[in-house]
Structures are given as structure tokens and as C-alpha cells.
């Protein structure tokens, strides 16, 4: 992709498609920007957008980084026609100086037939690929993805490097667009300017001598014949043709590429289980729904037989919809096909975005504000329209911009991301306590990671409850060397408790350990029922004198167990009828036969076990 110099006349952009014989590669686009901008279009968005520029003198496109982010720059090609079904390769000469530390990044993206642009992954590059060692963590559109960052080789000397990526198979008659995306967060940008400069772009098909849709290099590497159309063959007898295996990236010499117990050809990737030969699963992922069970163990029959024939749907992480993943239920000896069979262990699910309508601000109308000290020693309040009596913390007791920056109270403002949308960056221990207007019984909680470095994530922490603000009891506890978010930024973890907690007036978030001794979190949401837990009462007693059986019914709570005691004089309930009766939900009925004939009077006591 050498540069050719000639008189720069005002020529309208156009695409030239150079067709060659089917044996060779086809150049779909070969643009060096010497004559004009190639029909590429730029867009800049953010707090203070800085447009990308076409430089006619140097024949390049360039973008300047933005430290006021989040900011996004895109440089997008015109639509490029694809005449035959082939693997597409994109090559481009460029240089970059982009903030490192996994903060900012530049990505190559592809759109097919006008669809959404998707980031080309690191694995697609065969030369000079992305340079960030971990997924990007900045507050921008490429968060969690790969990208170019730091300085490219020879940047300071004006040297361009060539990056090459195979971006996938595109069907004949389709069109593609390539896009360069610069993603910048706030605070800093790369040391060089421009941050990213594109010198040329080439889009081509790969060489295919027999024109069977599989490049020669692929056929050579996989024991196929590059001189014979063997696209319809099935080298490994897995019900998937050689061409289908190439398109789907499965191994044509291995009938079960992901080793999950299902033939590649039976994993159609449609997302819906139809039968054992049309499972809907991904042939490249052993556990498509990420529920802790390999696809081959989930037979979709609806009946749990064993740990190797679970009856569950391999495309649904929680087949029975009880908020506990299938693998979790199998490991904890409950039925993943029955919503009434649940483990008494909290479950964690990673979700996108906040749920909203939480107990601290169910109307979502809370307004950050000054911290107000009311009447001397009375508890402090903060902000407006929040549903609390008071909120306190052991440090940074304010909303951001009201007493300091990135304060403790920012975890309840229903906003995630950088700046004043998070708490940062004091050391542990961290304690933030909310006093509610009435006692609350928690059912689930969300915690959202900050946009900050993963080392600041809480590792050992608890959600605690109290009714006097002094003595706290554990509602949920986690202690792990890995973050609950796995290092992903601006990600929400939903924690579902196995049953509603006891009712507490005070709820506290307490952290005792982080990865690097400094703490950051973006948001906390509490959900549940307001008001005290209904007192335990026996609602009915039925006696069958013929069988000496008694049936008791009482109000109960999910995933609790109960004990029943009996007495003839109410002075001591010494006779233990049963001490492990499972909850029946809101109401529990229990029938039992007395060991002795029914007296003139008989008393019963039901106790909820701790």
C-alpha cells in the first residue's frame, strides 16, 4: 500500500472495484487518501467534540484525543460491495499515541449490510494487533473491549505500521463498511498529537484457487484440497460441511470443537433448543448460557435425571426462572427445572445497567445536595427527595461537589460512570449506612463497579442490618480474591437473597479489603419490602380424631425451615414434633400424627429456625 504522488485535483470520491480471476484475491477497496478523503466520513461527540481531520497535504486522516470525555471519534468508509462469498481482510497503515493503562483506545469496527458496527477482536489480527494488555476500562464506548493504546513503534519519527485483520466471511451481494473508533475518557489523553493517524486502508478477499469459499491457506492448514471444490464435504462427519465449519470457525478435523458433548453440526447457534440435533447452542463455547453446565449435559427434556442429564435448556442460564443459575442448583442439590426448589444461598448475576426504583430513591427523583446537620447530635441527612432519615459514612461524608469530590453518598445517586458518579478513593475499612423511615426487609441488592482500576474493587465486604444503628447483623457476605465483577468496569452485579432478610431500620455497606488498599464503587441499590416482617402466627388447626392427625397452617417465608413443638399444659413445649419443616411459600401446612392420643387440650408452637 505505497503512496503515489500526483496533482491533487478536486475529484469526487468514488469506489473502484477491481475484479481479478477467481484464483486470486480481489481488492474491494484500496485507498491511500492521496487524491481526496476517499469518501470517508468523520463524526465527533462528547463534552467538547474535536472533529477528525482529512489532511490533503500528507494524504492522511487524523484524530486528536479528548481529555474532557467521555468522547468518541469515528472515521467511517463508504459502503463497499462484496461480489462473492469470501473471507475479508482489512489492512491499514497507521500510527497512534493513545493514553495507556487500559484507559483510552482505538478500535477497528465492521458493519455488514448497514447493520450495527462491531469491534474486530484481538484474535482477528495477524499483524500489529491491539496493544492494551487487558480490556479497556475507561469511561467510553469501548469499555470492556480491546483497542490500540500507548505509542505505536516509531510514532515519534512519523513511522506508520501496517495492521492486518481477517474480519470474517461475508456473503456475495452484501456490503461492508469499516470504521476507526477513538474512545477517550476524562482526565488525560495520549502524549502525541494526533492521537491516531490513518495513512491508507485496503479491503480485500483472500486467495481461493478453487473458488469454493475457503481460502487456500485455510485448506492447506486443515487437510482440504485447495484445487477441488470440497466445500460440501464433511471431513470429520459432524453434520457440518467443510464450508460451514470455515464460516463458523469450527475445526473441520474435530467433530466437537468445544468438547461439550454435542457434534458441531448439531449446534446451530440459533439460541433456541429444538431437539438434540438442533440445540441452538454455540459450537465454539462449551457452556453457551454460562450457567456452569456444559451444553452436552443440558438435554432440554425438562426433567432432572442426574448431573449429566439435567433436563435444562442449554440456552437459558436459569431454566426455571427462580433467579438461581442451573449449574448453581445442580451443585447445591436443588432441581433447576422447578422454581419452588431453591438453594438457601444467595446468587449473583451480572447485568447491564441499574434496575432503578430502589428503596433509597424509589421515585428516582433524588437530588444531590449539601450535607445537613440537623439539631446538633441528630443523625445527618443529605440531598433532597431521598427516602431516608439519614445517611452516614466513616469517610467522605458528602455528595461529590458538596464538600469534596467523589463522595460516599454518590453511591445512591442512580448514576454510574466516572467523575461525581462514583465513590473514590479512600482506603478500607469503608462503611456507608442508611437509616430508613421504616424497617426494610431486603430481597435483592445491586452493586455497580466504578470506571476506575479493578484493583480498587471491594473483595471482602458485607451488607449488614441493624435496628439500633449500633449492633449490626450480616445479611450478605462475600470474601474472595476476585472482584464480584471480574474486573469489568461500569458493570452491575445483582445479588438475589434466597429469602427476604429480617427487617432492619439501618442498612450498612461495609468493606474490609480491596485489591490495592484503596476503594472505589459506582452505585448501590437496595430492594425489598418496607415495614416489619409479619409476626409468625398459626392461622388454622385441623384435627382428624380417627387417625390422631393434626394439620397446622401458618404464615411463612421462602427458603426458611420451621420447628413444631407441642405441650399439654403450655408451661413447657418439651415435645419436638419436627425441627426441619421446609417453607411452603407464603403459607406452610404440616400434617403429623401425635405419638399419644389427643388430650382434652393440646397446645402447639411453631418456630422459624435461624
pLDDT category at 596 given cuts 50, 70, 90 is: low
The dihedral of CA 430, 436, 441, 443: what is its sign? Answer: negative
The mean predicted confidence, pLDDT, of the chain is 88
List the 549-555 sheet strands across, edge first: 538-544, 549-555, 587-593
- pLDDT grade for 282, boundaries at 50, 70 and 90: very high
Confidence of residue 379 (pLDDT cuts 50, 70, 90): low
Indicate whether 358 pLDDT > 50: yes
Which residues are 555's β-sheet partners? 587
Q: Which stretch of 21-25, 152-156, 391-395 has the lowest confidence by average pLDDT? A: 21-25
Q: What is the pLDDT of residues 16-51, one digit of tens each?
A: 233 333 346 789 999 999 999 999 999 999 988 999
Average pLDDT over residues 229-251: 93
**Which residue matches cell numbers 431437539?**
275
Per-residue pLDDT averaged across 132-159, rounded? 91
- What value does the mean pLDDT take over residues 505-525? 96
What pLDDT, on a 0 to 100 scale, did the predictor assign at position 525? 97
Domain 367-530 classification at class level: mainly beta
CB 141 within 8 A of CB 451: no
Residue corresponding to grid cell 494526533: 194
- CA distance readout (Å), 128 to 191, 250, 521, 535: 20, 25, 35, 67
State the Cα–Cα distance between residues 480 and 484, nearest whole angstrom: 8
Rounded to 10 degrees, the C-alpha dihedral 296/167/353/429 comes to 90
Q: Exposure string (b/e) for 409-436, b if CB count within 10 Å is 16 or more?
A: bbbbbbbbbbbbbbbbebebebbbbbbb
CATH 3.40.50.720 fits 27-205, yes or no: no
Q: Compute how many other C-beta atoms are within 10 angstroms of the C-beta atom of residue 487.
A: 18
Tell me if domain 27-205 and domain 367-530 are identical in fold. Answer: yes
Q: Which residue has the cell 402466627?
A: 537
pLDDT bin (cut points 50, 70, 90) of residue 455 is very high
Joined grid coordinates for residue 40:
470517508
User: Are 468 and 435 spatial neighbours (Cβ–Cβ below 8 Å)?
Assistant: no
Residue 419, C-alpha cell as written in the block: 467523575
Percent of the chain whose pLDDT exceeds 90: 61
Question: With pLDDT > 70 as the criterion, what percentage of the chain qualifies?
Answer: 93
For the chain, what are the domain ranges? 27-205, 256-337, 367-530, 538-608
Amino acid at each position: 500500500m505505497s503512496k503515489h504522488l500526483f496533482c491533487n485535483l478536486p475529484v469526487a470520491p468514488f469506489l473502484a472495484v477491481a475484479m481479478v480471476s477467481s484464483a486470486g484475491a480481489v481488492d474491494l477497496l484500496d485507498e491511500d487518501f492521496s487524491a481526496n478523503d476517499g469518501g470517508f466520513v468523520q463524526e465527533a461527540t462528547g463534552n467538547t467534540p474535536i472533529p477528525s481531520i482529512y489532511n490533503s497535504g500528507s494524504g492522511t486522516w487524523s484524530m486528536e484525543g479528548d481529555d474532557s470525555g467521555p468522547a468518541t471519534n469515528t472515521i467511517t468508509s463508504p459502503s463497499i460491495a462484496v461480489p462473492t462469498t469470501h473471507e475479508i481482510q482489512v489492512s491499514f497503515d497507521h500510527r497512534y499515541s493513545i493514553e495507556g493503562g487500559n484507559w483510552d483506545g482505538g478500535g477497528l469496527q465492521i458493519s455488514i449490510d448497514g447493520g450495527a458496527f462491531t469491534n474486530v477482536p484481538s484474535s482477528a489480527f495477524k499483524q500489529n494487533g491491539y496493544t492494551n494488555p487487558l480490556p479497556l476500562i475507561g469511561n467510553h464506548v469501548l469499555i470492556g473491549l480491546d483497542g490500540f493504546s500507548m505509542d505505536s513503534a516509531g510514532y515519534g519519527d512519523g513511522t506508520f505500521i501496517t495492521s492486518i485483520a481477517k474480519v470474517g466471511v461475508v456473503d456475495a451481494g452484501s456490503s461492508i463498511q469499516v470504521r476507526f473508533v477513538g474512545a477517550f475518557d476524562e482526565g488525560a489523553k495520549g502524549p502525541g498529537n494526533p492521537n491516531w493517524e490513518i495513512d491508507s486502508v485496503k479491503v480485500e478477499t483472500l486467495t481461493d484457487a478453487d473458488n469454493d469459499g475457503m481460502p487456500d491457506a485455510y485448506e492447506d492448514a486443515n487437510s482440504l484440497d485447495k484445487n477441488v471444490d470440497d466445500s460440501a464435504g464433511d471431513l470429520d462427519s459432524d453434520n457440518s460441511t467443510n464450508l460451514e465449519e470455515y464460516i463458523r470457525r469450527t475445526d473441520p478435523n474435530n467433530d466437537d470443537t468445544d468438547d461439550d458433548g454435542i457434534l458441531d453440526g448439531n449446534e446451530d447457534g440459533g439460541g433456541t433448543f429444538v431437539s438434540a440435533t438442533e440445540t441452538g447452542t454455540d459450537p465454539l463455547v462449551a457452556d453457551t448460557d454460562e450457567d456452569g453446565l456444559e451444553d452436552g449435559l443440558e438435554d432440554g427434556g425438562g426433567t432432572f435425571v442426574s448431573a449429566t442429564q439435567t433436563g435444562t435448556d442449554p440456552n437459558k442460564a436459569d431454566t426455571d426462572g427462580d433467579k438461581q443459575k442451573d449449574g448453581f442448583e445442580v451443585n447445591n442439590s436443588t432441581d433447576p427445572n422447578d422454581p419452588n426448589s431453591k438453594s438457601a444461598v444467595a446468587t449473583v448475576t451480572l447485568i447491564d445497567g441499574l434496575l432503578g426504583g430502589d428503596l433509597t430513591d424509589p421515585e428516582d427523583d433524588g437530588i444531590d445536595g449539601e450535607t445537613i446537620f440537623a439539631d446538633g447530635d441528630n443523625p445527618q441527612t443529605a440531598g433532597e427527595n431521598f427516602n431516608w432519615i439519614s445517611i452516614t459514612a466513616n469517610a467522605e461524608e458528602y455528595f461529590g461537589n458538596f464538600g469534596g469530590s467523589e463522595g460516599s453518598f454518590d453511591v445512591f445517586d442512580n448514576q454510574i460512570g466516572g467523575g461525581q458518579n462514583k465513590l473514590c478513593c479512600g482506603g478500607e475499612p469503608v462503611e456507608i449506612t442508611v437509616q430508613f423511615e421504616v424497617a426494610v426487609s431486603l430481597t435483592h441488592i445491586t452493586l455497580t463497579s466504578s470506571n476506575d482500576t479493578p484493583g480498587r474493587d471491594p473483595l471482602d465486604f458485607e451488607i449488614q442490618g441493624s435496628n439500633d444503628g449500633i449492633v449490626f447483623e450480616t445479611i450478605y457476605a462475600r470474601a474472595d480474591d476476585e472482584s464480584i465483577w471480574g474486573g469489568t468496569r461500569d458493570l452491575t452485579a445483582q445479588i438475589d437473597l434466597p429469602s427476604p432478610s429480617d427487617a432492619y431500620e439501618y442498612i450498612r455497606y461495609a468493606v474490609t479489603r480491596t485489591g490495592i488498599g484503596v476503594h472505589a464503587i459506582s452505585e448501590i441499590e437496595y430492594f425489598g419490602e418496607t415495614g416489619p416482617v409479619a409476626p409468625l402466627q398459626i392461622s388454622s388447626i385441623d384435627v382428624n380424631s380417627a387417625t390422631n392427625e393434626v394439620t397446622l397452617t401458618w404464615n411463612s417465608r421462602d427458603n426458611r425451615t420451621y420447628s413444631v413443638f407441642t405441650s399439654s399444659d403450655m408451661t413447657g413445649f418439651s415435645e419436638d414434633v419436627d425441627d426441619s419443616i421446609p417453607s411452603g411459600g407464603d403459607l406452610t401446612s404440616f400434617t403429623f400424627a401425635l405419638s399419644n392420643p389427643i388430650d382434652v387440650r393440646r397446645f402447639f408452637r411453631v418456630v422459624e429456625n435461624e
